[in-house]
Amino acid sequence: MEYRNLGRSGLQVSTVGVGCNNFGMRIDMTATQAVVDKAIDLGINLFDTADVYGGAGKSEEFLGKALGSRRHDVVVATKFGMKMGEGPYGSGASRKYIMAACEASLRRLGTDYIDLYQIHTPDPKTPVDETLRALDDLVRAGKVRYIGHSNFSGWQTAETHYLAEKHGVTPFISAQNEYSLVVRDIEKELAPACLKYGVGLLPYFPLASGFLTGKYKAGEEAPAGTRFGEWFKGPYGARTLNERNFGILAKLEAFAGARSHTVLDLAMSWLACKPFVGSVIAGATKPEQVEQNASAASWKLTAEEMAEVDGLAK
């Protein structure tokens, strides 16, 4: 397993991280333990969760129990901001909410600090200055080591960078956004902003929820038990399981196959080879999937291969 600095910071993260949104929702504690154990055995040190994952904090609870005494050997990343309760203080990025949300996450994780604390989504009701100052206070108090954001745009990344400089507070070192060979919107503004301001990207849904494993076929129903078969019926499924994407998939499979690789290898390695990517966040429900994801990101594509793949998936 390779490690790299996350953004312009000294925090070293594994090239592949484990997305913990399945914990407490699609898998129980026993299965969670198996996934976490396998990840650590393979050298994966980044575990990304959120207070809303698993329903009301169950993912955080499962992750904390699964790590046990190994907690200090890994990077625990969690998020706040999504709806966790009713009323004006059940979500958001205000100082009042952040302080309470952090304490709740610390309790569920069974730890006294969070390595990477991320705002899950922009909060238009709260001034960004207030959010940054509150997070800076958590860093100074030792309850948080680094901070990041999720689902921010390029201009919001630039804005928070300048505000952090202006006020002399802790800057964001990471951005977590959807990014894959078939969802490339971030390349227009966010990716350049990440490069400019030293922010490391943590792509989520790197396999487009399993689409880039090749298990979905054009004109066929999504298999039972899969994400598209369960969660993503409707707009998300239509956005992904369409003629355009199946056409791209066929070209990518041919490219990878000609080089004795799978499209899974290509999807993970293409992301890992991007200069602004810190770690590729991939979910798993069983140890075998963790192993596949970890090995898939080891293909070192040449500049020429990267350019060709970019063209195929344009």
The catalytic residues are 53
127-132 long-range CB contacts below 8 Å, 24 or more apart? 128/156, 128/159, 128/160, 128/163, 129/163, 129/167, 130/93, 130/94, 130/95, 131/93, 131/94, 131/95, 131/98, 132/160, 132/163, 132/164, 132/167, 132/169, 132/170
For residues 153 and 279, give the distance between their C-alpha atoms in angstroms, rounded to a whole number.
19
Q: Cβ of 209: how many Cβ atoms within 10 Å? A: 24
Alpha-carbon distance values, 74 to 13, 88, 124 (Å): 9, 34, 33
Task: Return the H-helix or E-strand segment holding 40.
Answer: helix 29-41
- Partnered with residue 201 across adjacent β-strands are 175, 277
- Which DSSP category does 70 fall into? G
Angle between helices 190-197 and 154-167 (to 10 degrees): 30
For residues 113 and 302, give the distance between their C-alpha atoms in angstroms, rounded to a whole number.
39
- Which DSSP category does 146 fall into? E
Question: Which residue bears the tokens 């956005």?
Answer: 239
For residues 150 and 262, give the distance between their C-alpha atoms in angstroms, rounded to a whole number.
29
Task: Return the H-helix or E-strand segment holding 3.
Answer: strand 3-5
